[in-house]
Amino acid sequence: MFTHALVRKPCKNIVEGITSAKLGEPDYQKALVQHASYVQTLMECGLEVMQLEASEEYPDSVFIEDIALLTPEFAVITRPGAPSRRGETEGIKEVLWEFYDEIVEIQPPGTLDAGDVMMAGNRFFIGLSGRTNEEGARQLEAILHKFGFATILVELENLLHLKTGVSYLEHDTMLVGPELKDADFLEDYRTIEVALEESYAANCIWVNTTIIIPKGYPTTLKKIEDAGYDRIVTTDTSEFRKLDGGLSCLSLRF
C-alpha cells in the first residue's frame, strides 16, 4: 500500500517540452487544471501528496516519475536519458532524505528513466529504450539484486518507456498495449490487452486497490472492469499526452 506521493506542478514552459506525439501544443492553463484533478484523485486514494514548485528551467519536469525510483526500502536517483532533463534531479535528494535512509544514484555513462522501470511483486522489469541504456540498466540491476529483488530486462522498440506500453495492476495481472502483447516476459501473468486505437490507456496506475486510467478510453475501462476490478476512476491527462506523458509519469508513489 502507498502512503505518499511526490508531484511537481507544471511550468509555463511546458509548451517547450520534448514530444513526438504531433498532437499540438499543450495548453498551460488546462494542464494546471488537469494536474490539480490528478492530485485530488491521488488524495482520494489515501495518499499524502507533497507538491513541488514548478521549475521553469525544465519544461518536462512535471513528469517527475523519471527522475527517481522509490521502493519501500530505498530510493534511486536516476540519470535521465534526455540531456535536457538531467538537471531535474538537482534537489530531489534533499526531498527524499525526509523519507529514506538509503539513497543511491545512477552514474555516467549510465542513463536511466524510471518510466522504464516497473515493479511487480519482488520483480523489477527494466526497459532498454532510447532513454535507458545498458549501463544504466546494469547499475540498477546491481542495486536491486543487493536488496534481494529479481530483475528482467526488456528490449523496447517503438515505445518511449516500458510503462508507456504496460502497467502492473497487482494480482499477477498486466495491462498491455499492442507493442508488447506478445512479449515473453508476460508469460507468468494474466494479461488485459489494450486495442491499438486506445494504446495510450496502457499507461495507468494502481493505487491502494483503485485503478486510475486516463479519461476517454471506454473499451479499456470495460476490459478492466470485466477482469474483476471494481474500483476504477478516470482522470483527464490530454494535455500531458501532447508531451508523450501518461498517468504514471506525473507522480512518484511510495
Q: Look up the CATH number of the domain holding residue 175.
A: 3.75.10.10
- Residue 87 confidence (pLDDT): 97
How many Å apart are CA 129 and CA 163, to the nearest integer? Answer: 11
What residues form DSSP beta bridges with 104?
A: 76
What average pLDDT does this structure show over 107-115?
98
Task: For residues 239 and 18, give the distance between their C-alpha atoms in angstroms, rounded to a whole number.
Answer: 13
What is the rounded average pLDDT of the residues 79-83? Answer: 98
Nearest to 72 by CA among 2, 18, 136: 2
| pLDDT tens-digit map of 118-148 | 999 999 999 999 999 999 999 999 999 999 9
Domain count, the chain: 1
pLDDT for position 135: 98
pLDDT of residue 8: 98
Query: Tens digits of per-residue pLDDT, 29-67?
Result: 999 999 999 999 999 999 999 999 999 999 999 999 999
pLDDT band at 97 (very low <50, low <70, confident <90, very high): very high
CA pair distance 118, 37, nearest whole angstrom: 24
Identify the pLDDT of residue 213.
98
Tens of pLDDT along 169-226?
999 999 999 999 999 999 999 999 999 999 999 999 999 999 999 999 999 999 999 9
Range of the domain at 27: 4-253
Question: What pLDDT was estimated at residue 80?
Answer: 98
What is the model's pLDDT at position 195? 98
Distance CA 58, CA 78 (A): 16
What pLDDT digit, counting tens, does each position of 3-35 carry? 999 999 999 999 999 999 999 999 999 999 999
Ranges of H-type helices in the chain: 28-44, 92-96, 134-146, 162-165, 218-226, 238-241
Cα separation, 166 vs 18, in Å, equals: 21
What residues act catalytically? Answer: 161, 249
Residue 6: other Cβ atoms inside 10 A:
22
Task: Give the pLDDT confidence score for residue 191 in this predicted structure.
Answer: 98
Work out the average pLDDT over 71-80.
97
| Percent of the chain with pLDDT strictly greater than 90 | 100
* pTM of the complete model: 0.97
Quote the CA–CA distance of 69 and 76 in Å, as a whole number. Answer: 5
3 state SS of 125: strand
